[in-house]
Structure 1
């Protein structure tokens, strides 16, 4: 299929665009002269937010990113319409509150489907296009939860740890091909994520604090100190960098939380050094680990 228009403008493919960080990014991109493939389950919500004079620069695509056929179709529609895709932002997310014992296999699989496998599918299927044009940029939106562990957020933190690992491996694989990959790790930003995209495990046991955790998450997000518009200003700047960082933390709380986590892990590792090195063969070459 011939593209409707081949554009000199950068074309961004963004998921999770009906609210929050995703919708803010779409608006920022259009205001800065970019073109956008806005992927969403609710196209009418996105359409209502776009000024009439900017509608020519946005293609709103209804897609189920948990199904590879739908992902492929959305990418093909974007390329057919604009002639190319330059930047991908895997922003769509799903949260669930529940301890491991409370969670069903179905619930944790849904979290992985949205937060991990959808991003995997989009990355996998955009790479051939990026290889063909010898350029491209992928942003995967993680969370500070991908750098530590939070009780009663077992599923969510697991998905974000997995996404982190995927992203860093992908960056190494694609760097020789001229394709850039960056992880984004925000802390609490004022968005409707908890209200719209956070669910509870159907089973709730008295031994755990899932209800209190939900109130905590609601306070962190709905009253968050982070400004989504400022975050997206940085994302747009990073996309223009010749040598971008591999990961960007967003929000003061992100620094506070991650430094605390790393300190705890470093202290634990140092404490257990004798145990750790005792497992080597006696004649194994010595390694300077300090």
Structure 2
């Protein structure tokens, strides 16, 4: 049965690959991005019967509502929402200006929430739907030199896990996608941002980390096309995972983090139980 996808951040990278994979499967796609001209250039003429390209800055709630209404006008429903729009803010916490932190949360967290709020009106009416929120392995564990980015992705994960409980009663599933490092332009200067506060204590390690990321750009192990196909094969299929880990690197790091967390939990368990009220 043909489904309708609503995807944010589709002008390039993983978002574009998901849109192309959904179109190839025969589904309808509402592709959104801030720059409508560059967005339209990514698709061919023969795809337009299944495709609606819309301008959407996720930071603009008015645009989000307009885009959702247009999607319903065109295709009648929205079966799958993919919240993909976002960018990476790297750099040690003290080197990142407050305005940059606010922009990171505005796009990666509050923008995601605004689009979700607009789409939920449709999905609740339908009594069905599937929301996929693009997180990161940086939403499952912290990274040295990525405090702000990880904080935003942790927020997405907490929001998504709680939202899943809230909307299950309406037949709506929520999946958190946790990719590892994928071969996109995420680490390119056109996408990723670094802290611009110069602090001598961080200078040496910050320079080394940036060089490492620059060298890793476009040689990451993850294949965006394969990730897109996994999402298309998983979305809207009834039983869906709360977390969809993508990539051998993400899987290995997730396992190590969970194992270490369990070890620490057990190590401190005797202390943890001492805080309860006790009857005298």
TM-score calculated relative to the size of structure 1: 0.91
Partner of 1:180, secondary structure, is strand
Find the aligned partners of 1:110 and 1:211 in 2 and give their Cα distance.
23
After superposing the two structures, state which structure 1 stretch, 220-229 or 275-284, moved more.
275-284
- Per-residue deviation, 1:43: 2.1
- Per-residue deviation, 1:90: 0.1
1:88-103 correspondence runs (5 A): 88-103=81-96
- Per-residue deviation, 1:225: 0.9
Which of these residues, 182, 202, 222, is aligned with residue 196 of structure 2?
A: 202
1:243 equivalent to 2:239? Answer: yes
> Conserved in 2, the CA contact under 8 Å of 1:138 and 1:182?
yes
1:22 equivalent to 2:18? Answer: no
1:253-290 Cα offsets, whole Å, 9 max, x none, are 01111112222222222222232122222339xxxxxx
- CA 1:226–1:13 in structure 2 vs 1: closer, same or farther (change >3 Å)? same
1:44-65 Cα offsets, whole Å, 9 max, x none, are 2222221211122211111211
Q: Which residue is equivalent to 1:166?
A: 159
Which of these residues, 104, 113, 131, is aligned with residue 111 of structure 1?
A: 104
1:208-235 Cα offsets, whole Å, 9 max, x none, are 2333323333444521111111111111
1:83-116 Cα offsets, whole Å, 9 max, x none, are 2211100001111112221122111111111111
| Unpaired segments ≥5 residues, structure 1 | 1-7, 285-290
1:1-290 correspondence runs (5 A): 9-195=2-188, 196-208=190-202, 209-283=205-279
> Conserved in 2, the CA contact under 8 Å of 1:184 and 1:248?
yes
Find the aligned partners of 1:204 and 1:14 in 2 and give their Cα distance.
37
Find the aligned partners of 2:215 and 2:274 in 1 and give their Cα distance.
46
| Unpaired segments ≥5 residues, structure 2 | none
Partner of 1:50, secondary structure, is coil
Aligned residues: 277
> Conserved in 2, the CA contact under 8 Å of 1:90 and 1:141?
yes
> Deviating runs (4+, > 6 A) in structure 1?
none
TM-score calculated relative to the size of structure 2: 0.94
> Conserved in 1, the CA contact under 8 Å of 2:90 and 2:193?
yes
Q: Which residue is equivalent to 1:287?
A: none
- Per-residue deviation, 1:77: 1.6
